[in-house]
């Protein structure tokens, strides 16, 4: 039996977890911010480490009994530094938004001007949305993509010169093309602004060598650990500079960024780190350093491009006309659908995507014109180009018959047959 202790203590939760596992086994998850972790990561995440309090940093804790926790956090930090080529890594942020919040706190004062990609054009909540902390406590301004859906670096340069922001944020959650970090750094330097690169979506692609790295260009790099990096839910802050002295106050200079970041995470924003999460991050970083991870990252992009090309041939309109990364943004209104209708129809067919705004979307965010989908999870399951082509056929069939529940049920059966050939957690099957 899988999770036998939980089955006895709380059969309701046990039943729901098994139902979720069955949903994943029988369907194809294509939300680009989701992935399939290894069972080793799950083992660390569900370990006894969750019981320990460890406020502070290795060697400088406010609680006793942390000698082994220190070893785990040091291992995670060293692996992160080696993997990304930086001199400092903070692995304590609970998730991506707190990591970005810590960088804001480290480098800016409330009310300072910050320039980031608009959420409506592919950015993130923490890049300056007015109702987010980044828009409430800071003077948030946004740049947008050009008419072709791509970043217009000349326009960003002009905007930066007019606004003179304290910090520029680059990175995206719904942008299918590579980001020119070197150009963004040049823009930031020209107006004496800090540059934050949020690579939460593409960290695994960076590690895998299929997307340029922001290291050496951006002043600070943040990333979640649960998307293309294929780890647990969590985040890291990466940077270069003088060795961190988190118990001391320092001037807000580039060489002091390690200390500024550490002080912002703790005691600035967080209490004790989640040690089980830190251990699971360490496991994922070790996995990402293995040679086969580069093969995986390359396959993610190949699968996405194969899928994109197949959909274009079927007449679908993709933002920017394709993808360089793991995700695809598709305007479904050209096929007489809304984003909600497309998401629901594909869901009934066993394919999970999410509705999403497209650049210059005339529709509201909760009922947008597009859908966003990608290939990290299906690639983790072992699917390759032939399966990507098969998925394109199923997507097209479902969208063309989105009001026919009987037809969608038939597509779902075919999707399930495909999905069961590539189970997300085959190691768990023996315990089911």
What does the pLDDT average to over 313-321? 98
CA 293, 298, 299, 301: dihedral to nearest 10 degrees?
130
Residue where the block lists tokens 């996995």 = 287
Q: What's the pLDDT band for 272 if we cut at 50, 70, 90?
A: very high
pLDDT at 263: 97
Residue 11, classified by CB atoms within 10 Å of its CB into exposed (0-12), middle (13-18) or buried (19+), is exposed
233 an active-site residue?
yes
Among the listed residues 166, 227, 230, 263, the single catalytic one is: 227
Angle at 232 between CA 300 and CA 25, to 5 degrees: 60
pTM of structure: 0.97
Among the listed residues 3, 53, 94, 153, the single catalytic one is: 53
403 an active-site residue?
no
What are 280-302's pLDDT values in tens digits? 999 999 999 999 999 999 999 99
H or E segment to which residue 276 belongs: helix 275-288
Q: List C-alpha distances in Å: 58 to 90, 92, 427.
A: 11, 11, 34
pLDDT at 430: 77
227 an active-site residue?
yes
d(CA 24, CA 282): 25
Question: For residue 406, what are the contacts with CB-CB under 8 A and spacing of at least 6?
Answer: none
Half-sphere exposure of residue 210: CA atoms within 13 angstroms, side-chain side: 25
Helix (H, G, I), strand (E, B) or coil at 422: coil
Nearest to 86 by CA among 203, 186, 230: 203
User: Domains in the chain, start-ordered, CATH in brackets?
Assistant: 11-37+291-431 (3.90.1150.10), 46-288 (3.40.640.10)
Give the orientation angle of helix 291-313 with respect to helix 385-400, to 10 degrees.
Answer: 40
What are 161-213's pLDDT values in tens digits? 999 999 999 999 999 999 999 999 999 999 999 999 999 999 999 999 999 99
53 an active-site residue?
yes
pLDDT at 431: 77
Q: What's the pLDDT band for 70 if we cut at 50, 70, 90?
A: very high
Among the listed residues 126, 141, 224, 278, the single catalytic one is: 224
Residue where the block lists tokens 């943004």 = 329
d(CA 90, CA 265): 8
H or E segment to which residue 334 belongs: none
Among the listed residues 198, 324, 331, 387, the single catalytic one is: 198
pLDDT at 141: 98
d(CA 129, CA 272): 28
What are 382-414's pLDDT values in tens digits? 999 999 999 999 999 999 999 999 999 999 999
298 an active-site residue?
no
335 an active-site residue?
no
d(CA 69, CA 106): 25
Among the listed residues 55, 70, 112, 385, the single catalytic one is: 55
Among the listed residues 26, 52, 233, 414, the single catalytic one is: 233
CB 128 within 8 A of CB 140: yes
């Amino acid at each position: 039996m899988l999770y036998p202790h939980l089955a006895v203590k709380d059969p309701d939760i046990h039943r729901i977890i098994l139902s979720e596992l069955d949903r994943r086994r029988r369907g194809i998850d294509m939300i680009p911010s989701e992935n399939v972790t290894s069972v080793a990561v799950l083992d660390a995440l569900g370990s006894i480490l969750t019981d320990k309090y460890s406020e502070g940093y290795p060697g400088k804790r406010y609680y006793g009994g942390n000698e082994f926790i220190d070893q785990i956090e040091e291992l995670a930090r060293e692996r992160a530094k080696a993997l990304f080529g930086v001199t400092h890594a903070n692995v304590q942020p609970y998730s991506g938004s707190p990591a970005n919040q810590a960088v804001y706190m480290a480098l800016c004062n409330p009310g300072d001007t910050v320039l980031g990609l608009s959420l409506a054009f592919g950015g993130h909540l923490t890049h300056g949305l007015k109702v987010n902390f980044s828009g409430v406590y800071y003077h948030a301004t946004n740049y947008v993509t050009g008419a072709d859906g791509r970043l217009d670096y000349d326009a960003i340069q002009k905007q930066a010169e007019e606004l003179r922001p304290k910090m520029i944020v680059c990175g995206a959650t719904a942008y299918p093309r590579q980001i020119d970090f070197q150009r963004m750094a040049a823009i930031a330097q020209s107006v004496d602004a800090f540059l934050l690169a949020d690579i939460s979506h593409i960290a695994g692609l960076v590690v895998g060598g299929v997307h340029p790295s922001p290291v050496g260009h951006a002043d600070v790099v943040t990333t979640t650990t649960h998307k293309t990096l294929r780890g647990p839910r969590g985040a890291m802050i990466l940077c270069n500079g003088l060795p961190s002295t988190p118990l001391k106050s320092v001037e807000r200079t580039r060489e002091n960024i390690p200390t500024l970041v550490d002080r912002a995470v703790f005691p600035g924003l967080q209490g004790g780190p989640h040690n089980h999460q830190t251990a699971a991050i360490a496991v994922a970083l070790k996995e990402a350093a293995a040679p086969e991870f580069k093969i995986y990252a390359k396959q993610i992009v190949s699968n996405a491009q194969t899928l994109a090309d197949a959909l274009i041939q079927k007449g679908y309109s993709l933002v920017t006309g394709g993808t360089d990364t793991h995700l695809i943004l598709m305007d479904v209104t050209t096929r007489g659908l809304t984003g909600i209708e497309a998401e629901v129809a594909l869901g009934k067919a066993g394919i999970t995507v999410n509705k999403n705004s497209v650049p210059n979307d005339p529709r509201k965010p909760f009922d947008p014109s597009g859908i966003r989908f990608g290939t990290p999870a299906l690639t983790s399951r072992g699917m390759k180009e032939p399966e990507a082509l098969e998925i394109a056929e199923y997507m097209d069939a479902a969208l063309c018959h989105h009001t026919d529940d009987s037809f969608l049920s038939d597509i779902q059966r075919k999707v399930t047959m495909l999905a069961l050939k590539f189970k997300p957690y085959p190691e768990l099957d023996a315990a089911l």
